[in-house]
Every structure is written in C-alpha cells, then in structure tokens.
Amino acid sequence: MNRMQLLIFASIFLNLPALAQPGVPAFLDGADMPTLPGTPFAHRRAWQDREAAQAHRPLPGLTDAAAALAAADFANLGATAWTVMHQDITVDLDATDSQVTTDSLLTVHVTDAGVTSLVFYGDVGESWTVATDAGVPLATSVGPLGSANSSYTVSLPSVPTADSDFVLQLHRVVKLACGQGFQGFLQCNTAGTYRWMAGSVGATPYNNAHTPFTCALHIKTAATDVAAATGLPKGVETLPDGRKLWHFEQPERSEHNDAFAVAAYQMFQGASQQNQPIRIFTTNDYSGNASTMAKFVSDVLAFYGAHLAQFPWTDLNMIQLSPDFGGGESFLMGVFAIESVFGGAPDNQGWEETNSLLSHEIAHQWWGNFVAPQGTADVCLSESMAEFSSCWYTENALANRGQILTNNLSFAYTVAITDDKPVNSAAVYSAAKYVDIIYHKGSVVLDMLRREVGDAVMTQALGDYTVKYGRDYATLAQLRAVVEAAYGQDLTWFFTQWFSRVGLIHAQVSARAIHQADGSWTVRVRVVQPSDPKIKPYRFHLPIHIETIGDPPIDLAMAVSAVADTPQIQEFPVPSAPLRVKCDWQRQLLRKFVVGTPGDVNLSGLVDGSDLIDMAYRQGRGVVHTYGSGKSFFFPDTAWNELYDLTVDGLVNGADADALNDWFGTEAEEF
C-alpha cells in the first residue's frame, strides 16, 4: 500500500487528520450537517422529525419490566392491578373557546383486590372531575409529572374486589392552542377550513405500561362542520341547538384510538381490492383527487397484503389535515396526514411525496397498531418496520430505490460515535439522533435482512409474525425467531451486528483484471476491514457487478467474514476482458468504502482512460451542496460514489480530476 492509500485509509478509518483541507465538511467526522432545504429528502426528514416528536416519547414510569406483562391478544394485561377496558367519550367543541371538553364513561377492570386509587396523567393545567356511575363525586388530587404533564390521582370510595369491573364518569377540559399534545397527536384549534385537531382525548392510566381499550367517540361540532375520526362511522344526528353530533366506534383494543379532526370535509368512499371500505376525508380543494387517493390506498394495501400480511382491520379512514400539521400519524383504522399529499397524482410532482409519506403511515396499521413494540428497546418494530415497508413499496410502485437510497446512510453517517446508539437500545428512544438511527438506519438494516434471506422468506416470516403476534406486543428477539424459522438458519450474527451494535461497515475494496495463460479472463476482488477499537469488522455478502467488453454485465456476490486486517480475496471468471468492477453499486449495504489503488475509481486494476471517462461522467456529483451564505448542506445525491471523491470533501469535482491525473498509469498492487 503506497502513501496515498495509507493517507486515505487512515483519514477515513482511523479518524486521523490526513488529507484534511480548508473547507472539508464536518460530516466526514460524524458531525451534524443540515439537510439541503427544499429537497424531497428535506421534506421527508421534516415529516419524520415531526412524527418522532409526536409518537416516540415513552410513557411516564414505563419500564421494561412493566412492558413484559403483555401477551397474546392482551390476555395477560390483567396482571396489572387495574386497567381501562373501554372508554365512551363525548367531545364538545365550542368554536368560541380554545378548549375541548370531554365527558367519558370509563369501564375499569380491577385484577387484584386492594386497589384504593387510580392514577392518570395528562397535560399541565387540565381540569379533571371524577364521579361514580351514580354521579357521586370522587376526591381527585393533582401532582407534577415533569415539565409538561401532571398526574391525577382518583381516590375510590370503596376497595373493589378482584376481577371486577366498575364505571367512572370523567369530566375533562383541555386548553388547545395548536401546540404539542401530551401524547401521540397534535391538539389544537385553528381557524378557516380546519376547525379542530386532537388526539388522545381519553384518559391514560399512568402506572400501566400498556392499556389498550375499545372506544366509542362522539363529537359535537358546529352545524356546518364535519368530524372525521378513527374507527367506524356510526352516523350523525342534529342536536336541539342545531349543532351536529358525530358517532364513531372502535371495536378493536388500542392504546391510541381516540383521535379526530373537524373541518369542512367531504367524505369519499372507495374499497380495497379485498373490498374493505376506504374513506377519504378531504376538503373541497382536494375532493377532485379523492378517487385517485382511494386507488392509491387500495394499491398500498394490496402490496402489503401480499408482502406483509392481509390488512388486519375492517376499514381504513384517510383524514386530511392542515398544511401546518407537517407530516402524518397513524392510529388504528385511521391515518392523518398533511393536506398536500391528498393532491398527489402520478402526473404531478407531489406523487413521490404521497407515496413515501402515506405508505409509511399505512404500514403502521401493521407495525405499531396490529403488532406493537413491547418495550422501549423494541421501537424499531414500529418506526423502522414502517419505513422499511414503505421503501419496499415505493421500490416497486415507482420502479426506483430512491427512498431506501436516501435512507442509506453510507452517503455520510452523520451520527457521531458519541451520539450513536444500537437500534435495539432502550436509550435510542430518547436519543438526539433518533430519526437517523430508527427511521434511516433501521429501515436499511431491515432491507439488508430482506436481501440476506430473500423476498420469499421475508414475506413468509412477516406473515407468520403477524399471525403469532397480531393484537399483541412483540420484541425484536421474537421477530428474529420467526425469521430464523422461515429461513432455516441461525441469524444471531445478523441481529447482533446490526441491531445491537453501533456503526456500519468500513472496508477497503480492490480489484484486478487477470488475463490467464489460456487466454481467459478472471476478476480478482480483495476486501480488507480495518482493525480499530471503534470500528468492528462485519460479516456480509458483497454484491459485485462486473462490466466486460462485448458481453452482458455479470452480477455476483462475495461472502465476507467479520475479520479485521486480513485480506479476503476471491476470483471470478468472466467471459471477456473486464472494463469496470462495481462493489455494492446499488448501495444495498450500510457501509463506507475506500479504494485500494487511488484513482482506480472503476476498480479495473489500472488507472487509465476509462477512469478519466468515468470521472468526467461523475463531475458535479456529491453529498454536499453549498449555497446562500456559503454554508454546506447534506444532499443525498443517489448517484454519488465515494470512490470518485479522491480529495475526501464530499464532492466529485475538478479537484478530484486533478488528483486522478496524478495517478494516471498506476497499476493496482498484486494480490
């Protein structure tokens, strides 16, 4: 290995300052770099940030020990001292007041004798009054619960017996101001087309890890408004004062099935390919696109039905929200999303955004609603699985891998080693880089698992997984067991290195064209993983794409073992003289590569005219974009290839062409 090779190897693998130049972007050292504004990736990232802020906060007091109480069809949830089994909620919206009033009937099941009080939690400043079903007021005390929540303790008039039920009346007032709701969904009132958006208006027990309940939701609105909610619409009635009362029923148990929105909606009903009702709640500006949306949702459900499992619910409501909502959120039998995606159609620019956002939220009907993560270390079973499913869908529907490619952080893993967390770490739930780790890395890792076992095995495994853990809480270990059973091989190595460790693959790749004595040709490929305490070696299959002169390209795979500082070499016969060798050219692996011979960007074994041509073709590619005030922004250019970035600055430009000229005529070392 010559000096240039050593410098590149050291600067990337060992984090030494070699090759450092003025203006080298900080992302190469794992520091933050903002995403280029206005790009589709920036929009999707903003949606993911918003969804993460809404959905991934743990319940106060949630512990893995408490989470372990859940079991199939919630059968063992009775192991908690008490839980809410059903909530009948009437929501009263007053257009002249910035608040929502709920009157709920809670059916409480007590498992153990000796319960003297119940503790709920909610926003700071809420008003709560509680009574028995006969109307007898109960004593309620309020205590602090962090900076944003309060605990509400209800004293029972008598000690209930074990395995008994009783009903409480709860009167609750919540002030709404389009701010962050305390759990799971935006709660606000707004003017104009959209009147109200709210979520988790029911009562949430504080000291239980998982509290799924069935729900009936009744929403009082102005006479001209329309309510849309999760669950089954059960009609509307006109009240004596001229206002409307909208009824929805959720027969399935869920932790979050009491979300709704009120707007000047029109409701369009279509059907899935399995004839499940699909309802599109949209405003007048987008109503003309409702049939396109219903067709899109049907296509997504059909794809997931073939690759995940059949849609588990009877209905699905798609509910449009205001442009300031910022993204999407999925509840059982209900998806809420920003209004712009409801205008998406195959012939306009919003179609990619419609596909990526809504297919992610629809995937939550399986991951998070049908099969839910059991503990904080299993959150990847919701968000990573939903994003992976979305990428799988868009890869087929849009005939490109753009979504998974931009998730693939081999562009530049911007999570510093000090901030990185394993995907299955309980600490990832509150990590600063949660979106990078769970949405991006998590989805790519699951996609790599799919490619490791094959589409057929992955489909069988996910079907078996939903059968076994549907209407249940599951763990990552249980997913691994199901995939192993379908695959017939132990996958501990895969789950350990990708879910239980930080980082990604680092490797030096080299290739040589060998002209044999008998006139035949072979390609020899070498892979070396560095020895570094911070960078562990990985086991993986390296996809290799070989282009030859006069024959079709050849696609092969090389098994690479998890060993450091040991060259791994394999030789492949080819029918004619090889022109270029591409290692993982479609970025299926989460990795960073450097080339063994600087300048041999196409891995032919020689820095020659073909490298100059390929370098010219790559000009202007990069993961860094500078504009405005001269700041550098991350831009996930799917055609960027780090092997062409000889100056290690995140750009392929004239400086790289100059560096290549310095190495012109160099031959790869023999191996």
Regarding whether 523 and 489 lie in a shared domain, the answer is: no
The rounded percent of the chain whose pLDDT value lies above 70 is 86
Based on its alpha-carbon atoms, the radius of gyration of the chain, rounded to whole angstroms, reads 28
pLDDT beyond 60 at 319: yes
pLDDT beyond 90 at 635: no
Regarding whether 153 and 20 lie in a shared domain, the answer is: no
Of 340-354, 389-403, 592-606, give the range with the top mean pLDDT. 389-403
pLDDT beyond 70 at 598: yes
Averaged confidence pLDDT in the chain = 85
pLDDT value of position 211: 78
Regarding whether 240 and 162 lie in a shared domain, the answer is: yes
Length of the chain: 671
pLDDT beyond 90 at 168: yes
Regarding whether 99 and 239 lie in a shared domain, the answer is: yes
Nearest to 435 by CA among 459, 396, 409, 470: 409
pLDDT beyond 80 at 353: yes
pLDDT beyond 60 at 285: yes
pLDDT in tens, 259-281: 898 999 999 999 998 899 999 99
Nearest to 581 by CA among 648, 661, 514, 650: 514
Which residues contact residue 10 at a Cβ distance below 8 angstroms, ignoring those fewer than 6 apart? Answer: 16, 18
Boundaries of domain holding 162:
74-264
Pick the last residue of a domain from 264, 288, 310.
264
Is residue 358 in some structural domain? Answer: no
Regarding whether 621 and 656 lie in a shared domain, the answer is: yes
pLDDT in tens, 15-42: 322 222 333 444 455 657 788 888 888 9
DSSP state of 641: -
At 7, the pLDDT band (50, 70, 90 cuts) reads: very low
Regarding whether 563 and 478 lie in a shared domain, the answer is: no
Regarding whether 509 and 494 lie in a shared domain, the answer is: no
pLDDT beyond 80 at 303: yes
pLDDT in tens, 205-230: 875 557 788 999 999 998 989 999 99
Q: How many CB atoms lie within 10 A of CB 143?
A: 10
pLDDT value of position 252: 92
pLDDT value of position 301: 98
- The residue that leads in pLDDT, 80 or 300, is 300
Pick the last residue of a domain from 264, 285, 316.
264
Regarding whether 519 and 473 lie in a shared domain, the answer is: no
pLDDT beyond 50 at 103: yes
Q: How many CA atoms lie within 13 A of 264 on its CB side?
A: 9
Is residue 617 in some structural domain? Answer: yes
pLDDT beyond 90 at 558: yes
Nearest to 93 by CA among 194, 184, 180: 194
Structure-block tokens of residue 277 = 């009702």
pLDDT in tens, 402-430: 999 999 887 666 677 788 899 999 888 88
Query: Per mean pLDDT, which range of 60-64, 542-546, 632-636 is the poorest?
Result: 60-64
- The residue that leads in pLDDT, 4 or 360, is 360
Is residue 357 in some structural domain? Answer: no
Is residue 328 in some structural domain? Answer: no
Regarding whether 471 and 508 lie in a shared domain, the answer is: no
DSSP state of 345: -
Regarding whether 494 and 529 lie in a shared domain, the answer is: no
Nearest to 102 by CA among 204, 218, 236, 206: 218
Is residue 454 in some structural domain? Answer: yes
Query: Per mean pLDDT, which range of 29-33, 80-84, 511-515, 542-546 is the poorest?
Result: 29-33
Is residue 27 in some structural domain? Answer: yes
Q: How many CA atoms lie within 13 A of 236 on its CB side?
A: 16
pLDDT beyond 70 at 438: yes
Q: How far apart are CA 472 and CA 383, in angstroms?
A: 16
Q: How many CB atoms lie within 10 A of CB 200?
A: 21
CATH number at residue 154: 2.60.40.1730
By three-state DSSP, how is residue 592 classified? strand
Q: How far apart are CA 29 and CA 19, in angstroms?
A: 13
Regarding whether 245 and 197 lie in a shared domain, the answer is: yes
Regarding whether 483 and 552 lie in a shared domain, the answer is: no
Pick the last residue of a domain from 216, 247, 264.
264
What is the pLDDT averaged over residues 225-253? 95
Is residue 364 in some structural domain? Answer: no
pLDDT value of position 208: 53
Q: How many CB atoms lie within 10 A of CB 635?
A: 21
pLDDT beyond 60 at 12: no
Domain count, the chain: 3
What is the pLDDT averaged over residues 454-471? 96
At 63, the pLDDT band (50, 70, 90 cuts) reads: very low
- The residue that leads in pLDDT, 69 or 420, is 420
Whether 307 and 450 have beta carbons less than 8 Å apart is answered as no
pLDDT beyond 50 at 527: yes
CATH number at residue 407: 1.10.390.10
Is residue 48 in some structural domain? Answer: no
